[in-house]
């Protein structure tokens, strides 16, 4: 079967350790697509309490370890987020992968910067406290409760709206920060809002999350950047049967 081949695959905000983490689906993407560099753009873990990881979560991690084997010719770039703050110390021992705060690279004459993005979220950046972590974990956990009660729906709406409201501000700060580093394209996670913003001749992309109904990821090929929405094959089979569209990878997108 023909599979699209990409230069870079970016995903973020998987929140391993949280019950709503879609680790299996993310693993599906990693296995089905062909890419030379994988950027894990922060908040891959919900926190650093590894006892919360279940079988699925460990399966995802062991695949990352497999990918980063020098024989596989995939470069794995791990970037720390605010939830997995402190990851660098742990991860280099556990999985044998270096962890970065930010990552710069050049592709087709364009300088790119990948950074989780909490650095541009003033509330979290100023005060990376237990309370902050508690609130964002509460937000994640509240999503798995059927919001039957009106007040619960309101809390959810308000928290979701916070991210939407923050998007233009975070995009602006990210673009400025990229420009200061000579990068005209900046990739962030953190807000869980898949986004593309063009501003002052620069581009801001957000890779979304893997905790909700619409998991998303980003691919780069030559000069082309795409935000994909994950969906399993409609027929539910992985038989590799070719569909009409020869370019369609096994992992669908909108």
In angstroms, give the least distance from the CB of 99 to Mn ion: 15
User: Encoding tokens for residue 2?
Assistant: 């023909």
In angstroms, give the least distance from the CB of 156 to Mn ion: 18
SS3 243: coil
Residues that bind Mn ion (CB under 5 A): 43, 81-82, 118, 190
How many degrees, rounded to 5, is the angle at CA 98 between CA 128 and CA 204?
60
Q: State which residue, 82 or 219, has the beta carbon closest to Mn ion.
A: 82
Check: CB of residue 218 under 8 Å from CB of residue 205: yes
Task: Work out the number of other CB atoms within 10 angstroms of the CB of residue 21.
Answer: 26
In angstroms, give the least distance from the CB of 189 to Mn ion: 6
Q: State which residue, 14 or 76, has the beta carbon closest to Mn ion.
A: 14
Closest residue by beta carbon to Mn ion: 190
Q: State which residue, 118 or 228, has the beta carbon closest to Mn ion.
A: 118
Q: State which residue, 185 or 190, has the beta carbon closest to Mn ion.
A: 190
In angstroms, give the least distance from the CB of 13 to Mn ion: 6
In angstroms, give the least distance from the CB of 201 to Mn ion: 27
What burial class does residue 236 get, using C-beta atoms within 10 Å of its C-beta: 0-12 exposed, 13-18 middle, 19+ buried?
exposed
Of 134, 201, 124, the C-alpha closest to 163 is 124
Q: How far apart are CA 187 and CA 205, in angstroms?
A: 5
User: Encoding tokens for residue 254?
Assistant: 């909108």
Q: State which residue, 101 or 108, has the beta carbon closest to Mn ion.
A: 101
Q: How far apart are CA 186 and CA 206, in angstroms?
A: 9
């Amino acid at each position: 079967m023909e599979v699209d081949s990409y230069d870079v695959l970016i995903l973020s905000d998987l929140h391993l350790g949280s019950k709503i983490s879609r680790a299996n689906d993310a693993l599906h993407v990693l296995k089905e697509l062909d890419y030379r560099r994988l950027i894990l753009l922060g908040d891959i873990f919900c926190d650093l309490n590894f006892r919360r990881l279940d079988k699925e979560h460990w399966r995802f991690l062991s695949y990352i370890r497999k990918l980063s084997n020098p024989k596989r010719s995939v470069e794995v770039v791990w970037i720390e987020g605010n939830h997995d703050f402190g990851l660098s110390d742990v991860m280099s021992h556990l999985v044998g992968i270096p962890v970065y705060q930010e990552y710069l690279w050049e592709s087709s004459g364009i300088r790119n910067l990948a950074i989780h993005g909490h650095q541009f979220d003033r509330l979290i950046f100023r005060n990376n406290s237990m309370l902050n972590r508690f609130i964002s974990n509460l937000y994640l956990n509240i999503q798995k409760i059927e919001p039957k009660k009106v007040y619960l729906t309101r809390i959810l709406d308000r928290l979701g709206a916070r991210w939407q409201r923050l998007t233009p501000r975070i995009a602006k700060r990210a673009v400025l920060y990229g420009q200061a580093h000579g990068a005209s394209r900046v990739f962030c996670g953190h807000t869980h809002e898949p986004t593309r913003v063009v501003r002052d001749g620069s581009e801001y992309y957000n890779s979304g999350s893997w905790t909700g109904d619409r998991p998303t990821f980003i691919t780069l090929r030559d000069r082309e950047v795409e935000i994909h929405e994950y969906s399993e094959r409609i027929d539910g089979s992985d038989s590799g049967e070719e569909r009409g569209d020869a370019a369609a990878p096994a992992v669908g997108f909108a």
